Chains A and B, each alone.
Chain A
């Protein structure tokens, strides 16, 4: 059982500005955020609201203009690029909208790559990659190249890759953005499994369906968090279901 009180990620006054003077844009504006171990948090907002920039700041892919980031209680916002790269290798898994798989490598080679880069023994890395592909339902496609996989399958491989070094935190940027409904459902089902396995997850998305899989929802507008709400679980789930599908109008 995961200790849910343990804080994995926290930010204070996190900001990112571009330009200056009259052309200054506050892409991320004074964001305070706390994510506990095992929690899934989604950040939702229209395109251009700054949610992707926020995710890039959290993963050290961009440097904040102001504010603090703590990962497992350690300040990380002032780390050098090299230290950030190390952190991303060991502690943070990324899932991108466009999958970002290496085209020349098979599914299993893509998954094991971050483990090899982190210094795992090749046999151990391969075993872990195969286990993860099995977990995401892709064991029978392990030897396929990305070009031989559908969008949904590619994203499942990418999720396996994000997990290969057992990261503290997984960051996902529009993970279903390039997928049709059925493939998106597969990926959402996978995230639901990750959540029940205690994986800490931050998802940014404009898709309400993806956002609704989280424990907590933050809404972003013009770079700022304007709204926060806990989504569930709720005690009256069956009543809500009945009202939502329209069954309650039956006599």
Chain B
């Protein structure tokens, strides 16, 4: 019964992803028709076809890496959001709840301030996200409390605010003509600068984190029960929590390092996935990943197509996410109680 119920949900998620893929490859500032696309594909597969080098470059060097990155980042943020919403038993939690985004933001603005190269900036941002969450976890565990989850969330908010102040300080000290615009653009989130070379450092951590999360899918069902019940069922909640937080942080930091801050995806997509396949993590996690990839792919296609100028992803996701979230608040009673 249950499995049959989730089949249409998965179909919808996969359709969103495939539709996103088709749209992403055929729509863009540079006109590439379906015929061109087929020709490029044929050329990649070794056939001799007549493709202009500009079209080939658009499909393989520009649009291709960007499409892959959008799917990876969308899937990563949705996975992390789903895991955190389950772990914290709270529907309003997003992947940056433990400070991963603010840590990565501080790392990135410091990198820009020091005029480092792109890959170095991404590496520092990635490290910053991991350090921030590690700090939150250490502080949160050191505070003795009957509600470790609440302490963890509060510590995350506080440490995130501190890192946010650090970002403000670095922006204040930055050169207003050169560095400040770069920082502002980074913080708004964009995939415009993604190149093939960025895909490996993006894919590695996301793959590791995603495998860990999906491997833990059955236990995450138990983790979303109250602490005492989970313990009574024989689950070691402490180590399991560390594993989930570490995996979710890994995927969040890697995606934020590559794309800048993109909010809302990790908050909204888990709810969409839940409404499609239900609350069982065994189905919810893969559905959220597929849906997140398709969702960000569609949004990024809009971001790079609508105007000559890129529309920052952070702005688009907020414009789409806010009305959805209000609707969610209105209907939350049904889904979460």
- Whether A associates with B in a native complex is no
| Chain A contacts to B: CB under 8 angstroms | none
